[in-house]
Amino acid sequence: MDLAMTMSRVRYYRAMFYSGAIYNFSVAISLVLAFENFYPLLGGGDIPQSPLFSLFLQITMGLVFLFGVIYGLIGYRPEAESSGILASLGIAGKLFFFFIMSGYAAAGLIPWGLAAVSFVDLFYSLLFIEYMLYRSSVAKQERSR
């Protein structure tokens, strides 16, 4: 069952989730293809050349890309019932990424420039939380009718 969102809200949430998808796609593709170029710009020094490092970078960026696909699916139909579940996963993923990156930066294990990328994830998690709160209020209104 779809939620009865206004068309302006649907357009807003579409744009929000599509922009989140584009952000995730751009980060994942950029870091897989050009991590060596971006890391020094973000305050990093020597880059580990181990195959294990490359493996985990590619796995992590694959997951970032996959979350982008999820955000695109939510953007396609933000009023769909399944979009709430997907958005909850998005919130958890973005907060997880933010806290892990911030923790590593605070411990001095990665440069703050690299961790700063995760502040965009914190911002999106707050937008996704607002989406969930709006969904909840619409669902309450529908139940009270």
Domain spans, the chain = 7-144
Q: What is the pTM of this model?
A: 0.89
Find the mean pLDDT for residues 91-116.
95
At CB < 8 A and 24+ separation, what contacts does 97-105 make? 97/64, 97/121, 98/122, 98/125
Find the mean pLDDT for residues 122-138.
96
Whole-angstrom Cα distance, residue 118 to residue 73? 22
Q: What is the mean pLDDT of the chain?
A: 93
Lowest mean pLDDT among 20-24, 66-70, 141-145: 141-145
* % of the chain surpassing 70 pLDDT: 99
Contact 38, 30 (CB under 8 A): yes
pLDDT value of residue 39: 86
The closest of 64, 91, 68 to 17, measured between CA atoms, is 68
